[in-house]
Each structure stands twice: as structure tokens, then as C-alpha cells.
Structure 1
Amino acid sequence: MSIILIGFMGAGKSTIAKRLGKEVVDLDQLIELRIGMPIADFFAEFSELEFRKVENEIFQEVIEKDWIIATGGGIVENEKNRTALAAHSQVVYLTSDFDTLWQRIINDDLTNRPLAQDKTKAKDLFEQRQKYYEAVADLVVEVAQKSPEEIVAEIQNKWRNE
């Protein structure tokens, strides 16, 4: 069964997924391959609503695979995705306080995040999504003061002991 990583932008979903195993799917990278452009460009050209449709479709394709899946931060906005996540038994919510995540977001030169252009709007989005992340998570891991290795160990220990 797969491990699915959820959480807000900057929580480290892609970084942790790569360290958890060999069969890794970064949903945002898969979407970019499918749409043939960066997500930020797709947002600008087509809209967030159209992006969410593509994201939901691809997520439904990969959720039943036996992979480590790093989702985008907004995956929980769709009710069908939340239902699928809630039915899954290995959903990990990587969490932190907003200020820590915001510092990571603005210091990330590799990613253009269309929903992180305004701190106030991003914080509102963070607060809106928290209840969804918490509702579907089987494991909540606080990431702010931990190394990637510590986070990976915490995730692995959760299912090793069950």
C-alpha cells in the first residue's frame, strides 16, 4: 500500500517522499508532464479551477498504486479526493506553523507557487486547509524543527510497529 504525503506548501512533501522509497510519484511533477508546462503557467493561462480538474483526475489514477505519493498542497480541497484519502490507511500530514512554512516558500528559488504570491492570502489558505489535512491524516508529523532523516524515521516507525 502506498504512503501519501499531504500538507501545505513548503512542508517538505517532495523532499520526504524521495527519501522514503524508490517508487515515488510527485503529483505536481506528474501534472506538469501531462499538461506540458509549469503549473504556474497553467494557472495563468487556464485558471486554478482547470488546474484542480487535472490534479483530481491524475490523483485518482495514482492513489491506488503502491507508491510513495507527494501531493500538492491543495489536493484536500476536492471532496472526492478527501474521501479517497480518508479511505486510505497511510496518509501522512506534514505540518508546521505558518511562519516557518512561509519562510521556506519564499526561500525556495526552484519553485514558482502561484498561490503564494501574497502572504495574507497564503495564510488564509493555510488556515482553510488545516481542518481537511487533519481530517484525513493517519499520522501527523510536525516538521519545523526536524531534519528530513528524523521525519522519515518517524513515518517508517509508525507502520513498522503496527
Structure 2
Amino acid sequence: MEAIYLIGFMGSGKTTVSQELAEKLEIAVYDTDREIVKLAGKTINEIFAIDGEEKFRDLESEVLHSMPLGDAVVSTGGGIIGSEKNRLFLKGKMNVVFLNADFSTIRERLKDDDTRPLLSQDNMEAAEKLYNLRLSLYREAANIEVDASGKSVSIIADEIILRMKK
């Protein structure tokens, strides 16, 4: 089976859904953010603070392009689609799933999260603007879109399995 890539805004459920999906399909799961931390030897917040967002995005691309091409679920960071190189890479894959959670759901999920560099100012207005800017990019890169608002993780995973290209 070709790898399954989950894309979407921060808080859309990519990490949680990827774990459930991998378990149901009995395949490996990878999280690009975790892989970046391993590669850099620093937390994402440290990379942003010390090396800057551009360095983080370079590492993000490097990790994405190093992921297994089969028998794996890959959970990506919310900004991975900001790079045209990454969008082209994803567009060439069979199973790229956009987990689309509406912004009110995301706001609720992220309200107490202080681990995300782009929310460090506790600025939901800026986050919503970024969300709206990225929507078309997620849709451009994905070939499956799943509504991730108000559904259980198990139901979302089942829907992805049903809609995947074999």
C-alpha cells in the first residue's frame, strides 16, 4: 500500500488520526514534527527561537522527502504545504488526506496549547488568518478531503480507509 499523508492546519487532528489509522491498517506511523526534533536535536520551539522559521521549514522538507513511500501513515506539520516543492511532492502521491476542521473547532482544541511557535503570542486572530490563507493550499495538495469537525477519531480513520485509492 502506498503511504498515506495527513495534512491540515494545526489542531485538525493529524497526529491522533494518524495513530488510529496506522493501528487499523497495521502499518507504521510517522510524525514529521517528531522526526524534525530527532534530526535537529532540539524542540520545535527551540528551532524557531534559535535557528528561525526558515531553518525549520528546510528541515521539514528534508524530513517529508525522507519518509517511507509505502506501508506507512505520515502525519505532517500544518505548514508543510507552504513550500511549493512539498505541495508538488504530495500531489504526486495517491493518498494525501486533508483533515479539514473548521476554525471554531481548531480554536477550541488549541486554546490552552503553548507548544506551537506560531501561536506563542496567544494570537488566535493571526492563526485564523493563516488558516484561511492555507485552505486552498491544503486542497491543492490533497486528493481526499475529510471533515474532521465533531467526529470521533475512529470514524475519521474509517472514512479515510473507505475513500483511499488502493
Taking structure 1 as the reference length, what is the TM-score of the superposition?
0.93
Among candidates 38, 59, 62, match of residue 64 of structure 2: 59
Matched with 1:10 is: 11
Aligned ranges for residues 1-150 of structure 1 at < 5 Å? 1-21=2-22, 22-62=27-67, 64-108=69-113, 112-117=115-120, 118-150=123-155
- Compute the RMSD of aligned alpha carbons: 1.4
Residue 18 of structure 1 aligns with an amino acid whose one-letter code is Q
Contact map agreement 2:8 2:14 (CA 8 A) in 1: yes
Alpha-carbon shift at residue 107 of structure 1 (Å): 3.5
Identity %: 36
Aligned ranges for residues 141-160 of structure 1 at < 5 Å? 141-159=146-164
Counterpart Cα distance in 2 of 1:74 and 1:64? 21
Structure 1: state its 5+ residue gaps.
none
Equivalent position SS for 2:146: strand
Equivalent position SS for 1:37: coil
Counterpart Cα distance in 2 of 1:102 and 1:47? 25
Q: Which runs of 4+ in 1 moved over 6 A?
A: none
Alpha-carbon shift at residue 63 of structure 1 (Å): 5.6
Equivalent position SS for 1:72: coil
Alpha-carbon shift at residue 64 of structure 1 (Å): 2.7
